[in-house]
């Protein structure tokens, strides 16, 4: 009986431990896969953020952390327009806004501190300011590594913004 209880506790722990990070695993593995395809095809590959979510959403607000200080809740709240918590160092947070205006929050290891590093871009508004909310349509990211060896350098995921992406001006396709 004790063995069964021990196995149940272990399996419950493993389910919780692995299930809690399924968004993170899927996000980074799909971006890395798109980075590999970009290198192989020698042209940008598209990663659709909607392909890894199991809920409907209209837009997402991505808060990227850093290594030295947390992103404080006041800074997040001013852009989010809702109450928020501090974002710890080495973490990123995705605030998905659903059609019924509820938030689905996913927190992951900061992409920029992984190997390969992953940098999720933002769009520019008409005034040249960074737009913090990306629509579902803008979350079809062009994936471009800055090195032909995937585990060296950074993989950039650039949203499909109104300001159009030109692969000849970025990453491994940059032409002087």
* Backbone φ and ψ of 72, nearest 5°: -75, 150
pLDDT at 123: 83
Closest listed residue to residue 137, CA positions, set 57, 64, 80: 57
Q: What is the pLDDT of residues 105-158, one digit of tens each?
A: 999 999 999 999 999 998 876 555 566 789 999 999 999 999 999 889 999 999
The pTM score is 0.79
DSSP 160: -
């Amino acid at each position: 009986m004790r063995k069964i209880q021990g196995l149940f506790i272990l399996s419950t722990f493993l389910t919780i431990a692995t299930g809690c990070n399924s968004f993170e695993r899927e996000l980074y593995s799909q971006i890395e896969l798109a980075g590999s395809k970009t290198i192989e095809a020698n042209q940008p590959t598209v990663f659709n953020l909607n392909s890894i979510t199991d809920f409907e959403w209209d837009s997402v607000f991505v808060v990227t952390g850093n290594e030295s200080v947390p992103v404080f809740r006041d800074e997040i709240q001013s852009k989010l327009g809702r109450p928020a918590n501090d974002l710890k160092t080495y973490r990123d947070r995705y605030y998905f806004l659903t059609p019924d205006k509820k938030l689905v929050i996913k927190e992951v290891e900061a992409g920029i501190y992984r190997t390969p590093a992953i940098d999720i871009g933002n769009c520019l508004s008409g005034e040249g300011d960074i737009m913090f909310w990306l629509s579902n349509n803008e979350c079809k990211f062009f994936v471009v590594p800055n090195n032909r060896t995937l585990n060296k350098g950074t993989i950039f995921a650039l949203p499909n913004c109104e300001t159009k992406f030109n692969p000849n001006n970025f990453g491994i396709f940059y032409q002087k």
